[in-house]
Chain A
Amino acid sequence: MAQPQSAPAVPAIVVEGLVKRYGPVAAVDGISFTVARGETFGLLGPNGAGKTTTLEIIEGLRKPDRGRIVIEGIDALAEPERARALMGVQLQEAGLFDLLTVAETVRLFSRFHRRRVDVGALLERLQLTEKANARVRTLSGGQRQRLSIALALVNDPQVVFLDEPTTGLDPQARRNLWDVIRSIRDEGRTVVLTTHYMDEAEALCDRIAIVDQGRLIALDTPSQLIRRHAPGVKIHVTPAAVGDGTLEQLVETLAPLPGVTAVTANGQGEAVLYSDAFEETIGALVRMAKEGAIRYHSLRVEAANLEDVFLKLTGRRLRE
Chain B
Amino acid sequence: MLAGILTVTEMALRIFWRDKHALFWGIAFPLMLMGLIGTVFSDMDNLVLRTAVVIPDGGNPLSQGMLAALEDVRALEVVVEDEATALAALRRGDRSLVVVLPGDEATAALAGGGTSAPVPVRVYYDEARMQVAQAGLAIVNGIVHDINQRVTGRADVLAVEAAGVAAEQLSMFDFLLPGILAMGLMQSGLMGVSAVITAYRERLLLKRVLATPFPPAAFLAGLILRFTITNVIQGLIIVLVGVLVFGARVVGSYVHLLFLVLVGSVVFLTIGFAISTVSRTAEAANTMGSAVAFPMMFLSGTFWPRELIPQSLQPLIDVLPLTPLVEAMRAVVTQGESLAAHAAGLLYLGAWAVAAAVVAVRRFRWE
A residues with a Cβ closer than 8 A to B are 59-61, 81, 84-85, 89, 91, 93-97, 99-100, 104, 107-109, 111-114, 135, 151, 155
- Where chain A touches its partner, the secondary structure class is loop
Known: A99-B19, A107-B7, A111-B3. A91 touches B14 (CB 8 A): no
In the bound complex, how far is the Cα of B18 from the Cα of A135, in angstroms? 10
Residue from the list A94, A100, A114, A155 in contact with B208, Cβ < 8 A: A94
* B359 is an interface residue with CB less than 8 A from chain A: no
Contact with A along B197-240 (1 / 0, CB 8 A): 00000011101111111100000000000000000000000000
Distance to closest chain A CB from B19 (angstroms): 6
B11 and A97: CB pair below 8 A? yes
Known: A84-B213, A108-B8, A112-B214. A94 touches B15 (CB 8 A): no
Identity of the chain A residue whose Cβ is nearest the Cβ of B18 in the assembled complex = A99
In the bound complex, how far is the Cα of B211 from the Cα of A94, in angstroms? 11
Identity of the chain A residue whose Cβ is nearest the Cβ of B22 in the assembled complex = A99
In the bound complex, how far is the Cα of B7 from the Cα of A113, in angstroms? 13
Distance to closest chain A CB from B304 (angstroms): 37
In the bound complex, how far is the Cα of B16 from the Cα of A97, in angstroms? 11
> Given the complex, which residues of A lie within 8 Å of B211, measured CB to CB?
59-61, 84, 89, 91
> Given the complex, which residues of B lie within 8 Å of A107, measured CB to CB?
7
B207 and A94: CB pair below 8 A? yes
In the bound complex, how far is the Cα of B203 from the Cα of A109, in angstroms? 16
Identity of the chain B residue whose Cβ is nearest the Cβ of A154 in the assembled complex = B212
B204 and A151: CB pair below 8 A? no
In the bound complex, how far is the Cα of B18 from the Cα of A154, in angstroms? 25
B residues with a Cβ closer than 8 A to A are 3-4, 7-8, 11, 14-15, 18-19, 203-205, 207-214
Identity of the chain A residue whose Cβ is nearest the Cβ of B16 in the assembled complex = A99
Given contacts A81-B213, A99-B15, A112-B214, 16 further A-B contacts (CB under 8 A): A61-B207, A61-B210, A61-B211, A84-B211, A89-B212, A91-B207, A91-B211, A95-B205, A99-B14, A99-B18, A100-B15, A111-B7, A112-B212, A113-B213, A151-B208, A155-B212
> Given the complex, which residues of A lie within 8 Å of B203, measured CB to CB?
94-95
* Closest 7 pairs (CB-CB, A-B): A95-B203, A112-B214, A112-B212, A94-B204, A89-B211, A99-B18, A111-B7
Distance to closest chain A CB from B69 (angstroms): 64
Distance to closest chain A CB from B217 (angstroms): 13
Identity of the chain A residue whose Cβ is nearest the Cβ of B7 in the assembled complex = A111
Inter-chain CB contacts under 8 Å: number: 63
B212 and A109: CB pair below 8 A? yes
Distance to closest chain A CB from B225 (angstroms): 14
> Given the complex, which residues of B lie within 8 Å of A99, measured CB to CB?
14-15, 18-19
Identity of the chain B residue whose Cβ is nearest the Cβ of A148 in the assembled complex = B208
17 contacts between A and B (CB under 8 A): A61-B207, A89-B212, A91-B204, A91-B207, A94-B204, A95-B204, A96-B205, A97-B15, A97-B205, A100-B14, A104-B11, A104-B14, A109-B212, A111-B8, A112-B4, A112-B212, A112-B213
Distance to closest chain B CB from A115 (angstroms): 10
Residue from the list A61, A104, A113, A135 in contact with B214, Cβ < 8 A: A113
> Given the complex, which residues of B lie within 8 Å of A135, measured CB to CB?
18
> Given the complex, which residues of B lie within 8 Å of A95, measured CB to CB?
203-205, 208
In the bound complex, how far is the Cα of B204 from the Cα of A249, in angstroms? 52
Identity of the chain A residue whose Cβ is nearest the Cβ of B204 in the assembled complex = A94
> Given the complex, which residues of A lie within 8 Å of B3, measured CB to CB?
111
Distance to closest chain A CB from B160 (angstroms): 60
A108 and B7: CB pair below 8 A? yes
In the bound complex, how far is the Cα of B8 from the Cα of A104, in angstroms? 11
A100 and B11: CB pair below 8 A? yes
In the bound complex, how far is the Cα of B204 from the Cα of A155, in angstroms? 20
> Given the complex, which residues of A lie within 8 Å of B19, measured CB to CB?
99
B205 and A108: CB pair below 8 A? no
In the bound complex, how far is the Cα of B24 from the Cα of A71, in angstroms? 48
Distance to closest chain A CB from B260 (angstroms): 31
> Given the complex, which residues of B lie within 8 Å of A59, measured CB to CB?
211
> Given the complex, which residues of B lie within 8 Å of A97, measured CB to CB?
11, 15, 205
In the bound complex, how far is the Cα of B208 from the Cα of A151, in angstroms? 10
Distance to closest chain B CB from A129 (angstroms): 21
Distance to closest chain B CB from A107 (angstroms): 7
Known: A91-B204, A94-B204, A97-B205. A113 touches B11 (CB 8 A): no
